[in-house]
């Protein structure tokens, strides 16, 4: 069994991005610039956004954090999105989700210029992904494809089961795994909360990707011997032995499942670091595309 070291892969891709930025500067080109929009004071969202901004600095990007009050209206937020769309100094931006209930997330996502949509959530980018036209891919699924590529994990002709059909993880992941390319060419099953016989379906999986949002839902008896298991879930569970009082676990019962796998991602240190790396890669791609 091999542990997929997302942290190490992320560091290596980030150092490649940093080299490309250094090269750009030598050639007299500008640094890629990522902006992040944060609304309200949700602790987890704040942590994610700050980490994204910090990672920009690490690879030599410019970054801007726009933090708005929870009470900002949809109309005002749309105006801010318009400003970012029109600001030629900014190559890409993200709007951290979830947004407060009075703001329609789809309306906000659709207001982002597809060329600057480095989260890859805009319908134009989703459509391009489906049609296999080069585009900005959703960060978490894109990060997972980078992991599979890094470890040369065969995907062609494999049975791939994706659990979870969210628009940001499960659904795009299932599309990427079924595309006619590598990683891809898998026979994909997309499972969700209405799926019957989840255990039997999972046991058929050569590649199992769990994006369910339920701590340790995936247990050893659901795993085929030698399967590749990718765990997207992140959950805090109480642990008094830790200074923080909690530890992180995934959707997969790692300790018991790991013994049956050929490859498995840990939580933390698996998919998580790759999401930010994919976002940085998208920002560099957006910057290069805007120069063409
Ligand atoms: P989500 O929007 O809550 O979607 C969860 C999906 O799982 C839904 O499609 C749901 O089905 C399905 N589901 C729920 N219970 C199920 C069950 N018992 N059996 C089968 N399917 C079930 O979650 P998400 O945004 O995709 O995130 C999933 C997890 O990944 C969360 O823990 C989140 O924190 C984590 N995450 C991690 C990263 C990262 O960078 N590592 C990034 C994004 C998300 P229905 O559609 O039928 O409701």
**40 and 79 share one domain:** yes
**183 and 213 share one domain:** yes
Q: Which of 14, 31, 52, 116 is catalytic?
A: 52
Domain membership of residue 15 (yes or no) is no
Centroid of ligand 1 to alpha carbon of 33 (angstroms): 30
Last residue of one domain, picked from the residues 56, 85, 118: 118
Confidence band, pLDDT 50/70/90 cuts, at residue 266: very high
- What are the pLDDT digits (tens) for 151-208? 999 999 999 999 999 999 999 999 999 999 999 999 999 999 999 999 999 999 999 9
**156 and 46 share one domain:** no
Instruction: Dihedral sign for Cα 272, 35, 46, 108, please.
Output: negative
- Please tell me the residue having the least CA distance from ligand 1 atom 2: 166
**158 and 259 share one domain:** yes
Domain membership of residue 263 (yes or no) is yes
Centroid of ligand 1 to alpha carbon of 29 (angstroms): 40
Domain membership of residue 127 (yes or no) is no
Peptide bond into 98 cis (omega under 30): yes
Alpha-carbon dihedral 45, 47, 53, 57, rounded to 10 degrees: -170
Q: Which of 96, 117, 224, 281 is catalytic?
A: 96
- What are the pLDDT digits (tens) for 31-67? 999 999 999 999 889 999 999 999 999 999 999 999 9
Domain membership of residue 43 (yes or no) is yes
Active site residue 253: no
With a CB cutoff of 8 Å and minimum separation 6, the contacts of 133 are: none
Domain membership of residue 264 (yes or no) is yes
Predicted confidence at residue 283, as pLDDT, reads: 98
Centroid of ligand 1 to alpha carbon of 251 (angstroms): 9
Cα 159 from Cα 153, distance rounded (Å): 13
Active site residue 96: yes
Predicted confidence at residue 44, as pLDDT, reads: 87
- What are the pLDDT digits (tens) for 211-254? 999 999 999 999 999 999 999 999 999 999 999 999 999 999 99
Predicted confidence at residue 292, as pLDDT, reads: 87
**100 and 143 share one domain:** no
- Please tell me the residue having the least CA distance from ligand 1 atom 15: 193
Domain encompassing residue 35: 27-118
Domain membership of residue 186 (yes or no) is yes
SS3 13: helix
Using only C-alpha atoms, the chain has a radius of gyration, in whole angstroms, of 19
Residue holding tokens 């900005």?
136
Residues comprising the chain, all counted: 292
**179 and 231 share one domain:** yes
Residues 235 and 258: beta-carbon distance below 8 Å? no
**203 and 246 share one domain:** yes
pTM of the model: 0.97
**105 and 188 share one domain:** no
- Residues 69, 70, 75, CA angle at the centre, nearest 5°? 85
Q: How many domains does the chain have?
A: 2
Domain membership of residue 176 (yes or no) is yes
Average pLDDT, the chain: 97
């Amino acid at each position: 069994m091999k542990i997929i070291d997302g942290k190490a892969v992320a560091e290596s891709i980030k150092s490649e991005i940093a080299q490309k930025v250094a090269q750009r500067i030598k050639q007299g080109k500008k640094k890629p610039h990522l902006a992040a929009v944060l609304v309200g004071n949700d602790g987890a969202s704040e942590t994610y956004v700050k980490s994204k901004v910090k990672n920009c600095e690490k690879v030599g990007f410019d970054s801007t954090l726009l933090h708005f009050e929870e009470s900002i209206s949809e109309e005002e937020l749309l105006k801010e999105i318009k400003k970012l769309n029109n600001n030629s100094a900014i190559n890409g931006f993200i709007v951290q989700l979830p947004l407060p209930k009075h703001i329609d997330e789809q309306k906000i996502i659709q207001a982002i210029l597809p060329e600057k949509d480095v989260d890859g959530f805009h319908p134009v980018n989703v459509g391009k992904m489906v049609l296999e036209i080069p585009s900005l891919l959703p960060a978490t699924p894109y990060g997972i494809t980078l992991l599979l590529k890094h470890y040369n994990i065969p995907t062609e002709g494999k049975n791939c089961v994706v659990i979870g059909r969210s628009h940001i993880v499960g659904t795009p992941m299932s599309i990427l795994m079924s595309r006619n390319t590598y990683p891809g060419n898998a026979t994909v099953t997309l499972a969700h909360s209405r799926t019957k016989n989840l255990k039997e379906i999972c046991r058929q999986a050569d590649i199992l990707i769990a994006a369910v949002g339920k701590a340790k839902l995936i247990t050893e008896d659901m795993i085929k011997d030698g399967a590749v298991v990718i765990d997207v879930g992140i959950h805090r569970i109480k642990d008094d032995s830790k200074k923080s009082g909690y530890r992180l676990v995934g959707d997969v019962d790692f300790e018991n499942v790991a013994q049956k796998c050929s490859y498995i991602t840990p939580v933390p240190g698996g998919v998580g670091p790759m999401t930010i790396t994919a976002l940085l890669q998208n920002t560099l791609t957006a910057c290069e595309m805007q120069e063409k």
